[in-house]
Amino acid sequence: MTSEVALLGIRHHGPGSARAVAAALAQWRPDAVLIEGPVEADAVVHLAAGKDLVPPVALLAHAVDDPSRAAFWPYAAFSPEWVAIRYAVDHGLPVHFIDLPAGYAFVPAAGDRPWDRADDPAEEGGEAAEEPPADPLALLAGAAGHDDPERWWEDVVEHRAPGADALAPFAAVAEAMAALRAEGLGESRRDELREAHMRQRIRAARRAGHRRIAVVCGAFHVPALATAPTVAHDRALLAGLPKRVRADITWIPWTHRRLSQAAGYGAGVRSPGWYHHLFSTEGDPVPRWLTRAADLLRAEDHPVSSAHVIEAVRLAETLAVLRGRPLAGLTETLDAVRAVLCEGSDVALELVRDRLVVGDALGEVPDGAPAVPLQRDLARLQRSLRLRPEAAPRDLDLDLRKDTDAARSRLLHRLRLLGVGWGVPARSPVHSTGTFRESWRLCWQPEFAVRIAEAAQWGTTVEQAAVGKAVGTARAAVELAELTGLVETCLLAGLSGALPAVMRVLADCAALDTDVAHLAAALPALVRALRYGDVRGTDHGALAGAAAGLAERVCVGLPPACVGLDADGAAAMRARIDEVHGAIALLGPGPAAAGTTVVGTAAVADAAGAPDGLPDGLPERWATALRSLARREPAGSPATGVPGLLRGRAVRLLLDDGRLDAEEVGRRLRLVLSTANAPADAAGWVEGFLAGGGALLLHDPRLLALLDEWLCGVGGEVFTDVLPLLRRTFAGLEAGVRTTIGARVAAGPLDAAPAAPGTGGALDPDRADAAVPVLAVLLGVRPRIPRQPAGRDT
């Protein structure tokens, strides 16, 4: 019995090739279909028989012992391989994959893979000396006089409908590829091994009794499969293959956007949305596609009418004629969209490119597809929480006081801990400062399937895996800040099972770490974690003790730790000081300085009290540390002095807390700006003092006058040295503040403050205290009793 084989050479992900394959299979009527792809896929190809496997999808193969080693074979609705699979399952035909097993690609060392080894063992390093194979399409397009292989292929294949003989185009493509291979162009060691394995699989199909076999493969492989060498030759070629790695394979959802990316796991299809439209549209696709573009632009408030669509169609067809193309392609269509629908706007054109040329289509996979237990648990949670994976980014606002939203938050935080960044924290449009609200940006990526498979080593459910990952991360952590951040993550994710183990590691690490910078970097995460206790119902007693211990050690060690820092070290320490200052304010605000009337949040927070388990007086000890830092003067040697940046920052924080008055700040500024001080140190002090806002220079013109006087007195040579620092300082101020400061300096002397209308320039303490009860009601705290004016009965 003689078997006939039809070799259908295609271009992967080509709609014209897909239509040609469909026509060829209908004409050839095979009794078996063989497809280029990993042989392991035979185990899951039957899932394509149902309606639940919706492209774009991909075959995912990964090493059983190391899921991080994975490979993908994506298919869209317009992929010729997918058309062949659907034809086979719809007609009840056997379908097999004939490429090398995926396990060979997962051999750990690159030099152990057969296509990475040199033919000459004596070659240095054993590395292959082959150059990367040339692109066959580029070679053919160049021979035809075209400089763009994509456009040439579209003209000769994608834009032409199958003729009376559906097999004729494949014979022409095979002849062209045979001419290339006769010249030895584009061949590689890997291709030789793959083609030997394909020939072996074709022979096996013949031995199985199939008489009419259709082989769908890349056009470049057709000549090697048509003129098959002997069986002994192929066996000898494949005998050198190493032992392959055991691999699992399944179907996963894919996206058009991922198909468009040539790097990573993409396929390099530049216009999957356009290709899908070409494949799925009967008749002339251009008018229908331009109508979709008009609908998209109208939805985005662009004025586009039906007349625009008519003119765009005419322009696209005219451009195709002028350029000698059989049909208006994507280039002509986009030119028409830019000129007519977008009125020359590249911004609107990019919207069309993103939504229609590429698109956000996401495939679907049936529940019966092989998957690790962790993947199944995630799918169950997604259904129960009504969180459908979508390829298009979308925003999600959560109210943690609601059970469903709280469960969604825990799931997203657990997945982030496992390395699955389905949700990324985002800024809420409400700009709420409460801890009961969370905002996320959700976007599902196909490669998350690999990360889920990797995370399966930690547990069979999302919660178990997150607990195991948290404990493992804690034991491997080397920095204190990493552990405190992990504690915060455990609370956000509701991982009560992991928290005791993480806290034990944290306590041990904190006891041994003497670096104040490490302690200061670790404290803010612990303090943030304490804020979630009320809404999430977590017990933060142990956290409060750990946070208080870190805060105490930072207060004691801060001044000595700031001695002898260079510019980069001082900038990093300044950021740490700001973070610790905010954290200690959350741990427990202290009383305002004696004799000072505090109006606003400081007075209201004063009544709130410190969280349970925290020592009293912690804010006072922090203020003492800042005073000690502010009093230190720069010594002659940088190794014994404190940078002006840190001293100025300490003064500013004390001023903002009401622990220093304006007169004392002015005295310190005069000392710093005196001629006895180095200009560079004075500039650093000013930078630290003004960081975070320069509005106080507008409210206290004495400070502005001192700064202006010092700046005018700096010598020319020294001014050149301090200018970059001063520019950086004032560049950090608000634009309105910079403008107002410049206007005041230009207006004349700065020795008097402009009086506010109706105030005479003085602050009325009674009127300021009257606002405190109202502010307390708004914040929901008990207000402090306002200061009584002198002479009033108490």
One-letter amino acid of 322: L
Are the CB atoms for 423 and 442 separated by under 8 Å? yes
**Dihedral sign for Cα atoms in the order 22, 23, 29, 34:** negative
Containing 509, the helix (H) or strand (E) segment is helix 499-512
The backbone torsions φ and ψ at residue 671, rounded to the nearest 5 degrees and listed phi first, read -65, -40
pLDDT at 266 over 60: no
Tens digits of residue pLDDT in 620-660: 888 898 988 888 867 555 556 788 888 888 988 888 888 88
Exposure string of 73-94, with b = 16+ CB inside 10 Å and e = fewer, is bbbbbbbbbbbbbbbbbeeebb
Mean pLDDT score, 125-150: 63
Instruction: Give the whole-angstrom CA distance, residue 544 versus residue 618.
Output: 13
Above 50 in pLDDT, residue 678?
yes
Rounded average pLDDT over 526-552: 66
Q: Which pair of structure tokens corresponds to residue 114?
A: 């057969």
Answer whether residue 191 shows pLDDT above 60. Answer: yes
Name the pairing type of β-strands 95-99 and 32-38.
Answer: parallel
Across residues 468-495, what is the average pLDDT?
A: 87
Longest alpha-carbon distance in the chain: 119
pLDDT digits (tens, 9 = 90+) for 406-431: 999 999 999 999 999 999 998 766 65
721: its two tokens: 């040295």
Looking at residue 793, what is its pLDDT?
44
Span 47-75, average pLDDT: 89
Please enumerate, as own/partner, the contacts of 489-493 that have beta carbons within 8 Å and a separation of 24 or more.
Answer: 489/413, 489/416, 489/417, 491/529, 491/532, 491/536, 491/538, 491/540, 491/543, 492/409, 492/410, 492/413, 492/529, 492/532, 492/536, 493/410, 493/413, 493/414, 493/417, 493/466
Do 294 and 304 touch, CB atoms closer than 8 A?
Answer: yes
Lowest mean pLDDT among 288-302, 314-328, 596-610, 643-657: 596-610
Amino acid making up residue 37: G
CA atoms within 13 A of residue 527's CA, in its CB half-sphere: 22
* Percent of the chain whose predicted confidence (pLDDT) is above 90: 31
* Residue 551: half-sphere exposure toward Cβ, Cα within 13 Å: 31
Tokens representing residue 485 in the block: 């951040």
Give, for 394, the enclosing helix (H) or strand (E). strand 394-399
**Alpha helices per DSSP H over 91-167:** 136-143, 149-153
Predicted model pTM: 0.69
Rounded CA separation 73/266 (Å): 9
Question: For residues 216 and 84, is the Cβ–Cβ distance under 8 A?
Answer: yes
Which structure tokens are listed for 505?
Answer: 């590691």
311 within 8 A of 284, measured Cβ to Cβ: no
Sheet with 95-99, edge to edge strand ranges: 4-10, 212-218, 32-38, 95-99
The pair of three-digit structure tokens given for residue 722, joined into one six-digit string: 């301090």
**442 contact partners, CB below 8 Å, separation of at least 6:** 387, 390, 393, 394, 395, 396, 422, 423
Lowest mean pLDDT among 27-41, 47-61, 485-499, 597-611: 597-611
Q: CA 776, 779, 781, 786: dihedral to nearest 10 degrees?
A: -20
How is 584-627 classified by DSSP, letter by letter? HHHH---PPPTT----SHHHHHHHH-PPTT--TTHHHHHHHHHH
Which residue blocks in 615-678 are alpha helix, DSSP H?
Answer: 618-631, 644-656, 662-672
356: Cβ–Cβ under 8 A, 6 or more apart, which residues?
Answer: 273, 274, 277, 289, 292, 293, 296
With left for phi above 0 and alpha for psi between -120 and 50, is residue 600 left, alpha or beta? left
From residue 417, alpha-carbon distances to 24, 413, 491, 500, 564 in Å are 50, 6, 12, 17, 38
CB 557 within 8 A of CB 523: no
Across the range 751-765, mean pLDDT stands at 53
How large is the average pLDDT for residues 469-481?
Answer: 88
DSSP 3-state of 667:
helix
Model pLDDT for residues 80-123, shown as the tens digit of each residue: 999 999 999 999 999 999 999 998 888 765 455 555 544 433 33
How many C-beta neighbours within 10 Å does residue 200 have?
16
| C-beta neighbour count of 755 within 10 angstroms | 10
Percentage of residues of the chain with pLDDT beyond 70: 82
Reported as a pLDDT band with limits 50, 70 and 90, residue 435 is low
Residue 732, both tokens = 């950090």
Whether the pLDDT of residue 257 is over 70: the answer is yes
Q: In the prediction, which pLDDT does 537 show?
A: 47
Element (H, E) at 492: helix 480-493
Distance between CA atoms of residues 125 and 389, nearest Å:
46
User: How sure is the predictor about 762, in pLDDT bands with cuts at 50, 70 and 90?
Assistant: low
- Tell me the Cα Rg of the chain: 35
Residues whose CB is less than 8 angstroms from the CB of residue 430 and which lie 6 or more positions away in sequence, other chains included:
397, 437
- Rounded to 5 degrees, what are φ and ψ at 459? 165, 170
Coil, strand or helix: which one is 500?
A: helix
The answer to which of 289-298, 387-396, 723-732 has the lowest mean pLDDT is: 723-732
- In sequence order, what are the beta bridge partners of 362? 255
| pLDDT for position 452 | 92
Q: Could you give phi then psi for residue 210, rounded to 5 degrees?
A: -80, 130
Residues in the chain: 794
Q: Provide the pLDDT for residue 75.
A: 93
Residue 621 phi, psi (nearest 5): -70, -35
- Residues sharing a CB contact under 8 Å with residue 461, sequence separation 6 or more, in sequence order: 373, 374, 377
Q: What is the mean pLDDT of the chain?
A: 80
Pick from 603, 658, 649, 609: nearest CA to 629: 649
* pLDDT tens, residue by residue, 687-709: 888 886 777 777 777 777 777 77
Classify residue 352 as exposed, middle or buried by CB count within 10 Å of its CB (0-12, 13-18, 19+). Answer: buried
* Token duo for residue 290: 């331009």
Does residue 180 surpass a pLDDT of 60? yes
Contact indicator for 298, 310 with CB cutoff of 8 Å: no
pLDDT per position as a tens digit, 508-531: 887 777 788 888 887 887 777 776
C-alpha span between 226 and 441 (Å, rounded): 52
Supply the pLDDT for residue 616: 67
- What is the pLDDT, as a whole number, of residue 479? 83
In this prediction, residue 788 carries a pLDDT of: 52
| Statement: residue 532 has pLDDT above 60 | no
What is the average pLDDT across 210-238? Answer: 90
Tokens of 691: 């960081």
> Model confidence at 37, in pLDDT bands (50, 70, 90)?
very high
Residue 382 or 607, more confident: 382
Contact 251, 53 (CB under 8 A): yes
